[in-house]
Structure 1
Amino acid sequence: MKLKILMVEDDQSVAEMMEMFFEKEGWTTEIATDGEQAVKMFAKNPDQYDLITLDLNLPKKDGIEVAKEVCAISPTIPIIMLTARSSEEEQIQGFNAGADDYVSKPFSPLALIARIKALQRRIRIDDKQEQTKSAENTEKFDVETDHIKISKSRREVLYDGQYVENITPKEFDLLYTMAQKPKQVFSREQLLESVWGYDYYGEDRTVDAHIKKLRQKLEKVGANVIQTVWGVGYKFDDS
């Protein structure tokens, strides 16, 4: 798997270290040292990049703004945010801006590489499934419960016939995973592995942040279908 990564990082030592690890994987890297430079580099030729690693604290333009502008150019570009910030609110801001994953500093280079590979693997699986589904009946839903209908090929969620708007890819995958097995309790570790595709590294707040935003979007149409099982995790129940 050969990748071209746009690394947005103002810390030269971190950038050089990660570039060395990426080269060992056979990946090529271009480095932007501030937010304005990152947006200009991406806008010049967005199709050349397979993934962005994005520091949150940047000169001239912060990572949140960079993510928003990059996603306005290419909504499907995978973004992994790297930051020393760790609050749930800041993580939610990053996810809302378009980030697919969130890695707290200091981090293990090998763990970051594992997440990049898992994200790319998930994208390839989703692309393959969507290509297969597109040849099938477009009215078919993959999951149908008492109130919820979900089409994975169209990335659509309906609650009592009403569309749930603005669900991000990770929010959709979380809902789809749980809705396939109503009332089954999923731990955060299980959801990380199923949705993000990598083993649990202690970033349980990643799941919590996505669940919080997913609930808000579902509740706009009256769908209170994701229940917290305290001390364990989450379950889907629309009975």
Structure 2
Amino acid sequence: MHDTDPPRDSVLIVEDEPKIARLVADYLEGSGFATRHIDHGDSVLPWLKAAENRPALVLLDLMLPGTDGLTLCREIRQRWPGIAVIMLTARVEEVDRLLGLELGADDYICKPFSPREVVARVKAVLRRSRAAQDPQPADPKQLVLDDDGWRALAEGHDLGLTAVEFQLLKVMMQAPGRIFSRDQLMDHMYRDHRIVSERTVDSHVKKLRKKIADVWPEREIIRSVYGVGYKYQPEE
């Protein structure tokens, strides 16, 4: 690196499988990131306590020797809230906990995964993290969520969403451009894991789109991806 080059974002990879860690590190470094690898949960917090060790993001495996990933995520959030966290897990049943506000994970990736997906998700989380730390003036054309009141406001107009519709919209807005399958959306919409059909998701999306179209008839921000699911795609 030349002295005139801008500093690279650093990613801490906490993963006890060396082949996975090396593969992810190679792809991240190929995309301009600096990386550091730790393979034991007990070594993470002592390393982070050193003032010179402040990664922009931690890729954190759920199942680790020593201190587990859930505990580490909670500790990182409490001590260093400016560090973004993406959880890595092979346990699909843990996904709701990983995304829960009580843990504060910014995103999760299920194993097995593509290293290209990891790079894309790291970049997306860092973009969102920086936008949150350096907020821009509110754009009246944007959709705003009021978590306390469970409301969605479009140009100040309350869309009148049901609780399920609000949760559906919130999940997609947290990851703009990410495609959610119907199964993933069902898991977020119905936390009691009731059995519903994919048509139920389609019905809720249809109603949500109609309520948005009542305010913005010319805009399509909830888009279908044929054969896969849906995504939130705000206009540039």
TM-score, normalised to structure 2, is: 0.64
Match of 1:93 in 2: 97
What's 1:194 paired with? 173
Give the Cα–Cα distance (whole angstroms) in 1 for the partners of residues 76 and 54 of structure 2. Answer: 13
Partner in structure 2 of residue 230 of structure 1: 200
Partner of 1:220: none
Q: Evaluate the alpha carbon distance shift between residue 193 and residue 97 of structure 1 in structure 2; reply closer, same or farther with a 3 A threshold.
A: closer
Q: Decide whether the 8 Å contact of 1:118 with 1:198 is kept in 2.
A: no
Aligned counterpart in structure 2 of residue 6 of structure 1, from 4, 12, 15: 12
**Which of 73, 80, 85 lines up with 1:79 in the alignment?**
85
Equivalenced residue count is 184
Q: Could you say which structure has the higher helix fraction?
A: 1
Match for residue 112 of structure 2 among 103, 106, 114: 106
| Percent identical residues | 26
Unaligned runs of 5+ in 1: 134-141, 151-156, 160-174, 214-228
Deviation of residue 183 (structure 1)? 4.2
Distance 1:111 1:40, change over 3 A: same
TM-score (norm 1): 0.63
Query: Taking structure 1 as reference, are residues 143 and 3 closer, same or farther at Cα in structure 2, changes over 3 Å only?
Result: closer
* Alpha-carbon distance between aligned partners in 2 of 1:17 and 1:86, rounded to the nearest angstrom: 22
AA matched with 1:196 = A
Alpha-carbon separation, structure 2, partners of 1:54 and 1:63? 6
Whether contact under 8 Å (2:185, 2:201) holds in the other structure is no
Report the CA distance between 1:98 and its aligned residue.
1.9
Which ranges of structure 2 fall in alignment gaps of 5 or more residues?
A: 1-6, 193-198, 212-236
Displaced runs of 4 or more, over 6 A:
none
Q: Secondary structure at the match of 2:174?
A: helix
Q: CA, structure 1 residues 182+47, in 2 after alignment: closer, same or farther (shift >3 Å)?
A: farther
Q: Does the CA contact (< 8 Å) of 1:83 and 1:104 recur in 2?
A: yes
The higher-RCO structure (CA 8 Å, 6+ apart) is 1
Find the partner of 2:48 among 42, 51, 59.
42
1:72-108 Cα offsets, whole Å, 9 max, x none, are 2112321101110001xx2232233221111100001
Distance 1:43 1:203 in 2: 41
For 1:197, the aligned partner's letter is P
Partner of 2:135, secondary structure, is helix
Computing the radius of gyration over CA atoms, which structure comes out larger, 1 or 2? 2
